[in-house]
Each structure stands twice: as structure tokens, then as C-alpha cells.
Chain A
Amino acid sequence: MRYFPHTPEEVAQMLAAVGAATLEDLFAPIPEACRTVRPLDLPEALTEWELEAHLGHLAARTGAPRGRVFLGAGSYDHFIPAAVPAVAGRAEFLTSYTPYQPEVSQGTLQAIYEYQTLGARLLGMEVANASLYDGASALAEGVLLALRVTKRTRLAVSRAVHPAYRRVLATYLEPTDFETVELPYGEDGRTDLSALNGIPDLAAVAVQSPNFFGCVEDLSGAAEAAHAGGGLLVACFTEPLAFGLLQSPGAQGADVACGEGQSLGLPPSFGGPGLGLFAARQAHLRNLPGRLVGKARDRNGRRGFVLTLATREQHIRRERATSNVCTNQSHCALTAAAYLACLGKQGLRELARLNYDKAEHLKGALAARGIRPRFSAPTFHEFVVRWPGEDPGRYEGLLEKGFVPGLPLERDYPELAGCTLLCATETKSRADLEALAEAMAP
């Protein structure tokens, strides 16, 4: 086995040094009765060549023709500049661990400090953490923060928040006594904030923008309503590129901004690893979940970076920790920072605008064929349409032609049976968009 450096002579020398006759003798501390009696029943070991062939075969049986997949719904296909994986793939970043020893981890630490800064600026917030697992866990942690800070018991969550995120939130809250109220969406596809009136003991209002239907929400209105009730606005997102063009959650009064960062230079990778982005107002600093990197000085007065405020974590009074996050998505955070550094202020603006324009072009091409958006609110790069004639076989028919025409919404929204959520990013050419419109035409 090429991963083991030990020669038989060395094994013999080492066994002699520790006073054991065989390798099996090393397991003497484990009572016989606790040992497994048979070898593991696993497939035969593969050589590197065989492994490549086997996984190559599996990878070849995954995916659809490029340019024909119009799925978004929380995972987005964007162009990734070669420089981003090249620098992020440096073994010194990839094969290190949590920077417990800052003097030999300044690379990771500075990169995360910069990531925190870039993330806070992108979201219009004051502080960001060093990442959470994904957008869904970020939302759950955002809501838990609001519950801790306000010491209240009730939550209002928009029905236009990603259904899987709401499911994760429900899982996290299941063993608690907190009560969740669902805010409906209106005819325009945006959250109906009037339902907020008179909800007592409100800890948080959780709204996603752009929401699951791609619609841009009135976060300012949601913030006003949340604050009027004494709660916090937890603003969620699945597409941070939108803030290259649209007003950031922070600019609209959000107290916590949390969501998925996969769009920032990470491939979809069948759903993970992604990146839980998490940012908040300075006032909530000591209630932030997850790790934080802060500036420090060394003995010579030189600037450096360290993990900080770790007392909120598991180390001291560990049963009262504000979060159990230990391993996070650190390498994904570094990748996202490198991506944002490549795009820069203007690059992000132009890319976001291009995403908007591509989807609008698709909207236009569909409308020309009689297929109109289901909702009237402005959208970013995804939107809902109703299939003409509500013919149930049409979606499958397009799959057979090699198109994946969005996500059918019926499973999560029975009232939207016959509707599909389409996404068009900068990776779709005009020809791709028009080919889909043509294929979807009645």
C-alpha cells in the first residue's frame, strides 16, 4: 500500500522498541470480546488505475449536457476563473487544519480575516464569521442567534425561503419550545408582510432575497416590521452574486445576513461542499456562532492573526457554548475570497448585471412563445413559469431531449403544480436560452 512508509525491517524494529511481538499484539488493550471476529466485508482494493477507471465511469454517469441544465434553486452554475482553484489548491492551504498554532498558520489566518472582511462588505454588514456548513445551517444559526439575543420565543419564516433551508431550520428547532409562524407569499411572489402584524413575542423574521422564486423581496419593509415588533431581521440568500447589483441585506436594515456562498468560485459539486456565509451587526459579535479570526500583535509588535473569542465555543463552560461548530468550510471560504478578489468591485457589478440580463432574455424568449412568469415581482437570475396547458408529460419530454428545464415546484408547493423554477446565469449563451424557449414552446 503506497500510503504506508514502513518497511518490514522498520516494523520489526518499532515492535521491538514498544515490546510487542506482532502488530496484532498492539491491540492488547482491547479485550478479546470487543474485537470483531471476521475481516471487513468490503470490495477488493483497487490500484490507482482501476480506481480512476471506476470513478471515471461513475462520473460519466452523472450530469447533463452543458448549456442545457436550467436548474438553480440554491446551487448555481458560474464560470470559475482558473486562478481561483489554482491558488486555493495549494497544498499548504489544503492539507493544514484549523489554525490552532497561529505562528505556522498565518496564511490560513490572513486569508480568513480577508474573507471575513470581503463577506461583511458584500453583505453590507459589520462582522462576518469564518464560515458555516452551508446556506441552510447558516439560516438555522442566524435564527438561533436571534432567539439568544432577544430571549423571545416566536419566529416568522417566509414560505418563499428555500424549502430545504426551512426543513433544516425545523430540524434544528425540533427539540426546542420555540414556535414558528409561516408568512405566506403574495400574488407577486414576494412575502406578504401584513401577516406579521400582531405576532407577539417575535424574536426574528426570516426572509430570503432574492427568494426561492427568484423574486427580490422588500427587505427594508421586513426590517421595519421586525424591529417594530422588537425582533431581528434574519435575511437569508442563496445567491450572493445578486448583491453585486441589488441592495445588500445590510443596506436594507438586516440584523443578520446568512446564506449560501457556493456561487463565489465553488463548483456545484452535487450540492457540496458549499459555504455558509454568516454576517451580523457589531452588537451581536459575542453571540456569533462559529469561528472568528482577529488581528493581533506579536512580541515584536508585528501584525498577525489569531483565532479569537474562542471562549464562546466548546473550550470553557462547554455545555453553555453558543455553537458546536468546529470543523467548518474554511477552504471554501478561502476560495470565495480569492474569487471576489479576482472579480473586484466592478467585475462583480458587471457579472451580476449580465446574470440579470441573461434571465430577462430568457423571460422574453419564453413570453414570445406565450409562456409567462408566474409572479410579477422583479427577479434576479431565476424565475417561475407555468407550463402552457399544464401538460404533465412535457417536463419529462424535455428531459428525454437532454434539457433539464428547471425545478418542478409541485412537491414543495402543491399550489404551484405545473410550474417550474428556471435559472439562467452567465454560463448560458443566447443560443442556449433560445433553444430552451423553443423546446418549451407549446
Chain B
Amino acid sequence: MSPVSPVSPIDPTPGRTGLVFDEPLLWVQSRPGRRGFSLPRRDVPEAPLDFGLVGEPPDLPELSEPQVVRHYTRLSQWNVGVDTAFYPLGSCTMKYNPKANDRLAALPGFAGSHPLLPAGFAQGALGLLWELERGLAEVTGMDAVCLQPAAGAQGELTGLLLIEAWHRSRGEERTKILIPDTAHGTNPASAALCGYTPVAAASGGRGILTAAAVAALMDEDTAGIMVTNPNTLGLFEEELPEIAAAVHARGGQVYCDGANLNALLGAVRLGELGADVMHVNLHKTFSGPHGGGGPGAGPVCVKAHLEPFLPAPRVVRGDDGAFAWEVDRPRSIGRVHAFHGNFGVLVRAYAYLRTLGAEGLAQASRLAVLNANYVRVALRDVLHLPFDRPCLHECVFSDAKQRPHKVNTQDLAKRLIDYGFHPPTVYFPMVVPGALMVEPTETESKDTLDAFIAAVRAIAREAEESPELLRAAPTRTLVTRLDEAAAARQPCLTG
């Protein structure tokens, strides 16, 4: 039986027919007098009010609760997440987010607690923060941890401020910082925010940085180096110990961007290789849901010599086992968060750490590396692999083999959507023109990877035989390719 009557005037555009809904903007659905909120009972009288202070009520849409629920439920159906599909967004580590952790972060004692509660009312939360600091120090091989930074980039800024404060405490003012071309995109921006001039350090022919190149750039005006390891090509910076020695020899400090830590759990502790400070993206390696772009958490881990400069206050444990806040820290760089950081994300990370333990974390990295290499080997005959050697947690292809057919990375990515996959990271890292960066993570099964590999192989064939299919993609989504250039020329940011 045909599900659609032949006389039915069905619009064939996806998103306009069947149970793929259209959804107007909130305010288009507004009608004066509606409210989706049950106001608490008024048990006090109206108090006198200086009407000179009173403003117009903000022009918010007026909706019922069912309207609001339907609106957001429909919007959610236009989104792909890790719970929906394979999401191999390189360097973002889109692994499965355990449901138990969400539930635990929502426990009333955690979610309902005020950040300024006297320590006597917050022993559980303080103990959790204390234990998480210890765990992260152990994983990274560092001595002390600050949990305040709310995201990786804020962790970067915090780490650089620590380096700056350390140099200043020694009577030195340094102006430059070395940043490899395979570092994360936010590194130079963080350095600039901190008042440093970023100096690019070129990776060598093998896709990694050489100690010789760093030694040649390092001078007494250079505060240090920011290294992402494994780098954004998914390659281990083998010469990191020698690089660190070269930087330290000229009085510099070594910052390690820990965004790619998921490759190294239990295998490498960057603190043992000469890192003085690093941040960890908890939402990546320690599996917080990324929430459409946040919240994350970017704790900073340091060696002992930088500990006095860490943001205050610090959780301390007294001889009686009770936890307290140590506020008076005269050498601290100050604060980077109004309170204690993104505590809800920290709870999830702590739960993840406790669920996996030492062996589970090590196994996560092993399987993440296995999955990335499996994809690398399975696709290297159809996609150009600029650095054809074993990778760690992610592998970087390029569109070099498709360019002769006038098909680019963007086209490959969009066509993947038609096959039911979220595209990998595109056009990053910038050292690879037309890059396509795949990070499968350890929570993806062989079946999923095989299906992805089959889809990419099919798309590579299409690129040769019918490239217009790629250039037209995606076709099975609510909207087709959006004109981002026009949107930026005449920005419309509010309705």
C-alpha cells in the first residue's frame, strides 16, 4: 500500500511535509495575554515602589507551556548530536556522554546549592573538587590544579597569565610566545589577550615540531611556548622533552594545550615531559555533553613552582579532614570566574573519572587510537592522507584527490550528511589545505566506523562519476546549503 495518495498535493521539499515540521520563531507565535508560567502564590502585600525607577516591561513573546514545549522539541529535531549519529568532529572529541553523570550533576545538593554557602554546609562539594584536582594532577603528571576556568580557551588564558606572573615575579618582562602552526586556533588569540606577541613556529616535514627549530626561535624576550600534544594532525610531538629543555634553557615556560588529551590517558603524562602548565578540556576527554557549544570546563594544571600564582580561592583540607576555602593567597593572579568554575561540568568529569578508574581511562585512549587508525587505513586510498603514518586519536585527510573533479572538502562534508553522518572538522588544521579531520573516539563501534567508511568510499566514487551530487548536497535536510557570505555581509542577529 502506498503511504501517500497519488492525488495528495505533497511538497517534496524535506522539512515541509510529513512529520518533519516547520517551526516559526518564538515571537511569531506570541499572543498577548498568554503565559507559560505558574507564578508562586503571593503571600506578602505589594510594597511601596518609586515609580521613577520602573521601566517598560521587556517585549518578550507570550506563549503557553505547551507551545514552548512543542517549539523546543521541534527545534531539537533539527539538530544532530552524539545521541543521534556518528559525530567525528576532529579535535572536539565528541564521545558518548554517560547519562548517569547528568543525573548526578542534577542532585539537589549539587544543583541547588549556593556557591557562597559557608564551608560547613558544603563539605561534599568541596571534597569533590579536592578529589577531582588530585585526579587531574595524577592523569597529567602535574602538581596542582585550578578548576575555575570555564572552557579550554579560558584555561589557555589562565595558563598564560600564570607564565606572565611567574616571569614578573623574577623581575623579567617577556613579550613573545612561540606557537606552532599545528596548535589550536584559540592559542594565538589567548596569547594576544594576554599581551604577548605570538610567533609562529613551523612544524617540520613530518608534521611535528623539531627542537632545533624551537631552539633557533627561543630568546630572552620569549616567555615560552604553547604546544598542543598530540597536535592537530593527530601526531605525537616526539621531541617535546628536547623542546622543553631548549625553552627552559633560555628561561622560558612550556604550556601544553591538553585539548587532545583523550589520546594519552595512562600512556603519557605531559608533566613528565617538561610541561610547566597545561589545561584539560573536561567536556572532551572527561565526557561532558558539549551542549551545542558549551558549557565546558578548562581546568589548569601546573608544576609546583607555578602553584602560588593559581587563581584563588583554593580548596584546602585541614588536619581534621574538613575542607575549607583558602582565600588569602598574596601571589595569586586573582580570579577568572565569579565563583568556582562550571561546577556542574566538574561533577560529570569526576563521575567519569571514578567510573573508569586507571585501567578504564587507559583503555579509552587505546580504543580511541585504534578507531582513528582504523579509519585512516580504510580510507587512505580514496582520500589524500598528507601525513601517511600511524596517528593517535584523530587523522587528517585532504581533498587533494577530489579537487581535479572540482569537488572540495566542503562538498565531501555536506554529502556525508545525506548519508546520515555529521561531517568531520573541515579546513582545520590550516597547515593542510582542504583538511578533513576525523576523530572517531572510543565510544564508536566497528559497525559504525564500517558504515562511515563505506559512505566516504561511495562519496569518493560519486566525486568522480557525478560530482554534481556532492556540490548540491545536502539534500535531505530541512535547509540546503546556506549562504554564509551573504549572512556576514549584512548581519541580521535579532528578530
Whether the Cβ atoms of B97 and A94 lie closer than 8 Å is yes
Can you sample 27 A-B contacts with CB below 8 Å? A17-B374, A29-B392, A34-B240, A40-B138, A45-B357, A45-B359, A51-B351, A61-B124, A63-B109, A103-B480, A104-B422, A113-B494, A113-B495, A121-B58, A126-B494, A134-B339, A246-B55, A273-B150, A285-B493, A291-B293, A307-B484, A319-B191, A324-B157, A324-B190, A327-B152, A344-B61, A433-B44
Q: Is B42 an interface residue (CB 8 A)?
A: yes
How far is A331 from B60 in the complex, measured between Cα atoms in Å?
20
How far is A240 from B87 in the complex, measured between Cα atoms in Å?
36
Distance from A413 Cβ to chain B, minimum over Cβ atoms (Å): 14
Given contacts A17-B374, A118-B60, A243-B55, contact A327 B79 (CB under 8 A): no
How far is A156 from B56 in the complex, measured between Cα atoms in Å?
29
Distance from A195 Cβ to chain B, minimum over Cβ atoms (Å): 23
Given contacts A97-B290, A116-B494, contact A136 B338 (CB under 8 A): yes
Whether the Cβ atoms of B367 and A4 lie closer than 8 Å is yes
- Per-residue A-contact encoding for B180-207, CB less than 8 Å = 1, 0 else: 0000011011111111111000000000
Whether the Cβ atoms of B37 and A347 lie closer than 8 Å is yes
Whether the Cβ atoms of B122 and A171 lie closer than 8 Å is no
Whether the Cβ atoms of A136 and B335 lie closer than 8 Å is yes
How far is A299 from B479 in the complex, measured between Cα atoms in Å?
8
Task: Report the 4 A-B pairs with minimum CB-CB distance, sorted nearest first.
Answer: A271-B339, A331-B291, A271-B115, A45-B357
Q: Is B38 an interface residue (CB 8 A)?
A: yes
B160 closest partner in A (C-beta): A175
CB contact between B295 and one of A59, A273, A325, A429 (< 8 Å): that residue: A273
- Per-residue A-contact encoding for B128-170, CB less than 8 Å = 1, 0 else: 1000000100110100000000111110110001001100000
B104 closest partner in A (C-beta): A55
Whether the Cβ atoms of B390 and A45 lie closer than 8 Å is no
Distance from B310 Cβ to chain A, minimum over Cβ atoms (Å): 11
Given contacts A104-B417, A128-B494, contact A341 B36 (CB under 8 A): yes
Question: B58, B68, B102, B268: which has the most chain A beta carbons within 10 Å?
Answer: B58
Whether the Cβ atoms of A293 and B107 lie closer than 8 Å is no
Chain B residues near A168: list those with CB within 8 A. 334-338
Whether the Cβ atoms of B104 and A62 lie closer than 8 Å is no
Whether the Cβ atoms of B338 and A18 lie closer than 8 Å is no
Distance from A20 Cβ to chain B, minimum over Cβ atoms (Å): 8
CB contact between A101 and one of B53, B72, B423 (< 8 Å): that residue: B423
Given contacts A167-B334, A324-B156, contact A106 B478 (CB under 8 A): yes
Question: B62, B98, B189, B377: which has the most chain A beta carbons within 10 Å?
Answer: B189
How far is A96 from B79 in the complex, measured between Cα atoms in Å?
7
Whether the Cβ atoms of B267 and A30 lie closer than 8 Å is yes
Whether the Cβ atoms of A62 and B121 lie closer than 8 Å is yes
B55 closest partner in A (C-beta): A247
CB contact between A97 and one of B37, B71, B293, B340 (< 8 Å): that residue: B293
B327 closest partner in A (C-beta): A411
> Which of B245-253, B401-409, B439-447, B460-468 interfaces with chain A?
B439-447
A61 closest partner in B (C-beta): B124
Distance from B263 Cβ to chain A, minimum over Cβ atoms (Å): 9
Whether the Cβ atoms of B117 and A329 lie closer than 8 Å is no
17 new A-B contacts, CB < 8 A, other than A18-B390, A63-B117, A291-B293, are: A1-B363, A3-B98, A39-B266, A43-B357, A54-B354, A61-B123, A69-B117, A77-B114, A83-B68, A85-B106, A96-B290, A106-B79, A117-B494, A164-B335, A296-B483, A344-B30, A430-B43
Given contacts A133-B150, A136-B335, contact A294 B479 (CB under 8 A): no
Distance from B272 Cβ to chain A, minimum over Cβ atoms (Å): 6
- Per-residue A-contact encoding for B310-341, CB less than 8 Å = 1, 0 else: 01000000000000000100000111111111
How far is A309 from B484 in the complex, measured between Cα atoms in Å?
9
Given contacts A48-B355, A107-B78, A332-B294, contact A174 B272 (CB under 8 A): no
Q: Is A401 an interface residue (CB 8 A)?
A: no
Whether the Cβ atoms of A298 and B55 lie closer than 8 Å is no
Q: Identify which of residues 440-495 in chain B touch chain A, using a CB-to-CB cut-off of 8 Å.
A: 442-446, 474, 477-484, 486-488, 491-495
Chain A residues near B61: list those with CB within 8 A. 118, 341, 344-345
Q: Is A351 an interface residue (CB 8 A)?
A: yes
Q: Is A71 an interface residue (CB 8 A)?
A: yes
Whether the Cβ atoms of B488 and A297 lie closer than 8 Å is no
Chain A residues near B283: list those with CB within 8 A. 327
Question: B185, B353, B363: which has the most chain A beta carbons within 10 Å?
Answer: B185
- Per-residue B-contact encoding for A301-332, CB less than 8 Å = 1, 0 else: 01111111111011100111101111111111
Chain A residues near B211: list those with CB within 8 A. none
Size bracket, chain B contacts:
35 or more
CB contact between B358 and one of A13, A39, A295 (< 8 Å): that residue: A39
Whether the Cβ atoms of B390 and A101 lie closer than 8 Å is no
CB contact between B343 and one of A95, A174, A269 (< 8 Å): that residue: A269
Q: Identify which of residues 388-410 in chain A touch chain B, using a CB-to-CB cut-off of 8 Å.
A: 399, 404, 407
Given contacts A75-B116, A245-B54, A341-B68, contact A58 B125 (CB under 8 A): yes
Q: Is B221 an interface residue (CB 8 A)?
A: no
- Per-residue B-contact encoding for A273-292, CB less than 8 Å = 1, 0 else: 11000000000010000011
Whether the Cβ atoms of A268 and B69 lie closer than 8 Å is no
Whether the Cβ atoms of B79 and A122 lie closer than 8 Å is no
Q: Is B13 an interface residue (CB 8 A)?
A: yes
Whether the Cβ atoms of B483 and A40 lie closer than 8 Å is no
Distance from A66 Cβ to chain B, minimum over Cβ atoms (Å): 8
Whether the Cβ atoms of A96 and B123 lie closer than 8 Å is no
Q: Identify which of residues 269-291 in chain B touch chain A, using a CB-to-CB cut-off of 8 Å.
A: 269, 272-273, 281, 283, 289-291
Q: Identify which of residues 62-117 in chain A touch chain B, using a CB-to-CB cut-off of 8 Å.
A: 62-64, 66, 69, 71, 73-75, 77, 79, 81, 83, 85-108, 110-114, 116-117
Distance from B485 Cβ to chain A, minimum over Cβ atoms (Å): 9
Chain B residues near A404: list those with CB within 8 A. 114, 117-118, 121
Q: Identify which of residues 150-192 in chain A touch chain B, using a CB-to-CB cut-off of 8 Å.
A: 162, 164-165, 167-168, 170-172, 174-176
How far is A87 from B480 in the complex, measured between Cα atoms in Å?
26
Distance from B495 Cβ to chain A, minimum over Cβ atoms (Å): 5
B267 closest partner in A (C-beta): A27
Chain A residues near B141: list those with CB within 8 A. 36
Whether the Cβ atoms of B57 and A346 lie closer than 8 Å is yes
CB contact between B58 and one of A135, A244, A427 (< 8 Å): that residue: A244
Given contacts A58-B109, A62-B110, A103-B480, contact A330 B293 (CB under 8 A): yes
Distance from A282 Cβ to chain B, minimum over Cβ atoms (Å): 9
B423 closest partner in A (C-beta): A101
Q: Is A21 an interface residue (CB 8 A)?
A: no
Whether the Cβ atoms of B487 and A134 lie closer than 8 Å is no
Whether the Cβ atoms of B116 and A71 lie closer than 8 Å is yes
Q: Is B108 an interface residue (CB 8 A)?
A: yes
CB contact between A96 and one of B40, B82, B488, B492 (< 8 Å): that residue: B82
Whether the Cβ atoms of A83 and B69 lie closer than 8 Å is yes
